[in-house]
A and B are shown apart, each in its own frame.
Chain A
Amino acid sequence: MNAISRRGDIRPDRRLRFPALPVADSAGTSFKHEHLNAILAESPQAGFFEVHAENYMGAGGPPHQALERVRSDHPVSLHGVCMSIGGPQRLDRAHLARFRALVERYEPALVSEHLAWSTHETTYFNDLLPLPYTPATLAQVCEHIDEVQDAIGRPILIENPSTYVAFASSTMSETDFIRAIACRTGCGLLLDVNNVFVSATNHGYAALDYLADFPLAEVGEIHLAGHAEQSDDEGERLLIDSHDGPVADAVWKLYEIVVSRCGPIPTVIEWDSRIPAWPILRAEAAAAQAILDRFTARAAGGDHAA
C-alpha cells in the first residue's frame, strides 16, 4: 500500500513524527490501557498494537499520552468501530474529521473499519449492527468507503462482520458483497477469522466454504478473538462475538489454513472485555506469530504453501 506517497502532494512538507515501523509478517494485540506499564517495562515488544480509534478522540489527557508512548516504539493499527459505514445515512462529518486527524497524528501502519452500522438518525447504538446485502446497500457502502478513503488519503481495510440474523431482503451472499466492495472502492479487507467461525455456526454454513469464496488476495490484516456460546430459538448453538477470552481451537485451525493459502498477514489478537494480564494476551500473539513464522520461512525458502 503506497497510497501515502501517491497522495504525498497534499502535504509536501510532511515529516513523520513517529518511526515508520513495519507490521508485515507480525502478530499484535489490542492495546489496553491497563497493560501500559507492563508493555513499557519490556519495550519494545515484538509485533504491534491495535487501538479503537474512538478511545483517542478526546482532546488530550492520559489516553493520548499512552498511545504516544506506545507508538514511539511500535507500529500501530487504527481500528474504527463506529463510522457506521454500513448504514443508509450519510457519514457523520465531524466523526470523519476526527478519524482523519488520528490517522495524521499517529501514522498508523494499518487503518480499518467495519462492514456494519451503529448510528441511525441521531442515536448511537454502540453495537456493530447488520445490513441486508443488496445492490442498493452495496452502492451506499461503496459511497461511504470512498468518502473515508478520500478523507484520510489512503485505502482502508474493511472487516467482515459476525452476525446473528440474516435479512429476507438480501439478494447477494456476504462474500459476493465484500468482493464487490473491494473491487469497486479499491479498499483492502480485514479478515476476522473468529467472525467467520461465529457467522458460519450461526447461519449453518461451513467456514471453509466461506473462506473458499472470500477474496483472500485483498486481505491486509487478520483478526483473531474469543467468542461465547448461547442458544437460538430452536435451542441450537448461537455464538456471540464477545472478545472476552482466548481464541478457540477451531479458529486457530481456520487461521492456519488462511495463512497457508495467503502467506503471512499482519494479525491482531482482540481481547476487549474480561481483559487478562498482559503475559496472557502476549502469549496469544506469540502463538499467532509462531504460525506466521512457519509460513514466512516457507515463503522465504521458496516452498510456497498453496
Chain B
Amino acid sequence: MLLDYPTEKLQPSFAAVFARGLTDPARATPADVVGPRGKAAVKRYNVYRNNVTVSLIDALAATYPAVQRITGVEFFRAMARFHVRATPPTSPLLFEYGRDFPAFIEGYEHAQDMPWLADTARIERAWLDAYHAADVPPLCPDVLAAVPSDRLADLAFTAHPAVCIVRSAYPAVAIFAMNRVEGPITPLRSSTAEDALITRPDMEVAVRLLPPGGAAFLKSLIDGGTLGAAAATAFAETPSFDLPASIAGMIEAGVFTTFHLGDRS
C-alpha cells in the first residue's frame, strides 16, 4: 500500500506516531497522546497495545488450536507473542493471518524438541484455507468411466480450490487428528512420515492420510501433469504405489473439479 499524502514525507502523521509503540512495548507513550485534563496516558495507551497484541495472539490461537493443545496455552501464547511482534498482519482479513507461523515455529528456539509441530501447524493452516475456499462441485465419481482406457494416461485435471497437500517427515496427520478435537490423547509411538490431503468437496473440511506415493502422485496432477506422468512420478518415488486405489481415492476425496486431455509428455 502506498502513502499518497505528501505531508507524510515532511512530518510523520498522527497514525505513524501512534502506531510505532503499538507492537513495541519499549517505546514511550506518544507525546500527543494524553488523558483528560492533564491526566497521564501511560495505562490508557497500553489499552491499545494490549488490544492489538492480545487480539492477534487470539487470532493465531483460533487458527492453530491443535498446536496450542500440544504446547499448552502459556507456551503457545508466549510463542505467538514473539510472532505477532515480529510479523504483524498485512491484511485486514484475520483468516489470512499466520501464514508464516509454521515456519516461525520451525525456527522457534523453545520448540526444537517438537520437530513435528511446524507440520501440524501447516495442516491447520491448510484446514482454514480449505474452510474459506471457493465453493466448486468436485468431479462426479463416474465421469472417468466414459473415458476410453487408452486415453486415461493423457488426462489432466483442475484441482479443487480447497485442496492442499502437506508432506511431513513426522506422523503429523496422527498428531493433528489427536489434538484437533477434545478427547483423550494416547501416547504416539509412531515415527512414520505422513502426508496429508486436505479437501472440502462440500461444507466439511476433511484431512486424510495419503498412502505411500500418493502425495507425489497428487502433487504432479495438481501441477497440471497428466495421469500417466503423475503415475510415473509416484512409481519412481514408491515402487509399491497403488495406482487404481489412488485414482479411486482422489475422486472420492473430491481433489479435482474438471479434467481434459492433456499433452502427451
Give residues in A with beta carbon < 8 Å to B: 54, 57-65, 82, 84, 87-90, 92, 95, 117-127, 129-132, 137, 140, 164-169, 202-205, 230-234, 238, 240
Contacts and interface: CB of A to CB of B under 8 A. Distances in A.
24 contacts: A54-B94, A58-B93, A59-B133, A59-B134, A63-B132, A88-B7, A88-B14, A89-B15, A90-B2, A90-B3, A121-B16, A126-B52, A127-B52, A129-B22, A131-B14, A132-B14, A132-B32, A140-B5, A166-B35, A166-B36, A202-B44, A233-B39, A233-B44, A238-B43
Given A60-B133, A165-B48, 12 more contacts: A58-B131, A59-B161, A61-B203, A88-B5, A89-B3, A89-B4, A90-B1, A126-B56, A165-B33, A165-B35, A234-B35, A234-B40
Given A57-B93, A233-B35, A233-B43, A89 B1 contact: yes
A230 B134 CA distance: 43
B261 to A, nearest CB: 28
Interface extent on B, as a size class?
A: 35 or more
Contact of B39 (A92, A95, A205, A232): A232
A129 B33 CA distance: 12
A121 B89 contact: no
Contacts of B130: 61
Given A59-B161, A165-B33, A124 B47 contact: no
Contact of B34 (A129, A168, A202): A168
Interface string B20-51: 00110000000111111101111111011001
A120 B2 CA distance: 10
Which interface residue of A84, A124, A126, A238 has the most chain B CB atoms within 10 A? A126
Interface string B153-180: 0000000010000000000000000000
B8 A88 contact: yes
A233 B131 CA distance: 44
A232 B135 contact: no
A84 B89 CA distance: 14
Contact of A127 (B7, B31, B48): B48
A124 B48 contact: no
Given A90-B4, A234-B39, A137 B14 contact: yes
A169 B22 contact: no
Contacts of A118: 92
Shortest 4 CB-CB distances between A and B: which pairs?
A: A58-B132, A60-B135, A82-B92, A233-B40
Q: Which of A64, A117, A131, A164 lies at the interface centre, i.e. has the most chain B CB atoms within 10 A of its CB?
A: A164
A62 B133 CA distance: 10
Contacts of B224: none
A154 to B, nearest CB: 21
Nearest to A231: B43
A88 B161 contact: no
A87 B19 CA distance: 11
Nearest to A94: B91
Contact of B200 (A61, A84, A130, A137): A61
B90 interface: yes
Nearest to B88: A123
Interface string B113-146: 0000000000000000011111100000000000
Contacts of B192: none
B235 interface: no
A219 B124 CA distance: 43
B44 A164 contact: yes
Contact of A204 (B23, B37, B55, B94): B37
Contacts of B1: 89-90, 92, 119, 121-122
B95 interface: yes
Nearest to B56: A126
Contacts of B13: 88-89
B161 A125 contact: no
A63 B179 CA distance: 24
Contacts of A130: 18, 48
B133 A232 contact: no
Contacts of B92: 54, 82, 84, 92, 95, 118-119, 124
B70 interface: no
B251 interface: no
B16 A120 contact: yes
Contacts of A123: 19, 23, 88-90
Contacts of A238: 43-44, 47
**A54, A92, A121, A131 — which one has the most chain B CB atoms within 10 A of its CB?**
A121
Contacts of A120: 15-16, 18-19
Given A58-B95, A64-B135, A129-B18, A240 B88 contact: no
Contacts of B243: none
B232 interface: no
Contacts of B206: none
A240 B161 CA distance: 41
